[in-house]
Amino acid sequence: MIFSGQYGAVLTIDLHAIASNFRFLKSMSSSAECAAVVKCNAYGLGIKQVGQTLLREGCRAFFVASSSEALSLKRALLEIHKDFEIYILNGFERDFPEIYDTSIAPVLNSLEDIRRWVELSKSKRELLSAIANFDTGMNRLGLDKSETAEILGSSLSPDHSKISILMSHLACSEDPEHRLNHEQFRAFSSIVAKSKNRFRYSLANSGGVFLGKKYHFDLVRPGAALFGIGNFANRYTNLRQVVTLKAKILQTRSIDAGVTVGYGATQAVNRKSRLATVALGYGDGIFRGLTNAGFGYLSGYPAQIIGRVSMDLVTLDVTDIPQSLSQPGYWVEFIGEHQTPDSLAQRAGTIGYEVLTALGSRYERIYLGR
């Protein structure tokens, strides 16, 4: 099919698929509330469009990385509803008191975070309850062992600190057989017992949703699974693909055997070949790691990238594809029916998360289901 439009590449984001994925994840979450992790501009797909879609589906708890993301999401959600909670995963940032309101709260990752939150609590009449994050094996953010022992041995209570949820984060949940899943579950269960069930509890990220009911506690926090990426996306056919990326053929040419293609002359063809140059590159999130390794698809036919991926262009070997399907103005699929974000990522030596979050700003973006 020939597409019209002024852009060299088109990114289609299926909001219906995101809504369907949320419903499926919610159905898999036992009696736990299903939140949504929409950090990094909803994994690169648009925090406004994605956030509003999830809010309409009944999601009321959202997780972002930073204060600026929280403000962007809040503005978007207020356009359609006033009942929601936004939690900032990176903690009590310096500017938090300036953006404070009852819909935004930090995830508290240290005793210093908790101290500052308690001080703010004393100066406000009404506060959304915060979350305290305990490290149980990720060794990234969260209270460490000594801080955990200190805080659990103190007078911590919902009334005292406005903390209502205790959480931790699984490091290896995409691998259901990994021993660390069980070790973190035991460590978090100990925290639950020592806190005497006075709080709500949250452990499961996307992969944790599929580890079973005991990992769900009171709140699950899927992110990647909402967008159809991650190892579990291959195991659960109910999770729908969300993104389609197509780029336009700008020019075709025929070259002789032995001729090199692209910067650095990294690849020479071993036969007389026909090439198609396509309007996207690493400036659009098509990694240089796909040089001489990645594929685009024309009407289902695979066409290998030949030569280096450059900033704005990639070149495909279309020798074995009918010329009627590989002319200038025709479109090549890089993500879609024939290649998921995860399979593209595998060829580039990375993960689907990076593929989505690296998608550039030069695409025409089409949202289905707005």
Active site residues: 39, 263
Residue with tokens 């990992």: 215
61, 24, 33, 19: which is closest to 216 by C-alpha? 33
C-alpha 80/C-alpha 83 separation (Å) is 10
Confirm if 170 and 208 have CB atoms less than 8 A apart: yes
Torsion sign across C-alpha atoms 93, 95, 99, 100: positive
Residue 351 CB burial class (10 angstroms; 0-12, 13-18, ≥19): middle
C-alpha 361/C-alpha 154 separation (Å) is 48
Cα-based torsion angle of the residue sequence 60, 63, 179, 110 in order, rounded to the nearest 10 degrees: -120
Cα-based torsion angle of the residue sequence 307, 313, 314, 317 in order, rounded to the nearest 10 degrees: -90
Q: Which is it for strands 163-167 and 200-202: parallel, antiparallel or unpaired?
A: parallel
227, 221, 244, 225: which is closest to 236 by C-alpha? 225
